[in-house]
Amino acid sequence: MEVSDIFNILHNAVESKYMGKKISQSAMAKKLGVSMRTYQDWRLGNSRPGAVMAVFTMLSELDDDESAFVLNKIKKLIKKDGYAKSDS
């Protein structure tokens, strides 16, 4: 699987969460804290964000219950503390 496949799956999942309402690449890039150009490169497979791939690889090693637990825990932390985008 390529990184572009993962970002396309996530993009489609976010759209389905919003009842099929289209979300622009610009809006997705803003959610991720990256430029639209960077997000486009990820979706097209022109660039591979290593840290993102490492996280997805680790998550893919968990079973369904474990991955749901981890994602729910992360979701709660983000809701509680917010998302701090790194400046680097």
- Least Cα distance to 40 among 20, 24, 18, 22 occurs for 24
Check pLDDT > 80 for residue 37. yes
CA distance 58 to 56: 5
**Tens digit of each residue's pLDDT (9 = 90 or more) over 5-17:** 888 898 888 888 7
Region 39-58 average pLDDT: 88
Q: Could you tell me what percent of the chain has a pLDDT over 70?
A: 93
Record the pTM. 0.68
Work out the pLDDT band at 87, boundaries 50, 70, 90.
very low
> Hey, what domains does the chain have and what are their CATH numbers?
3-81 (1.10.260)
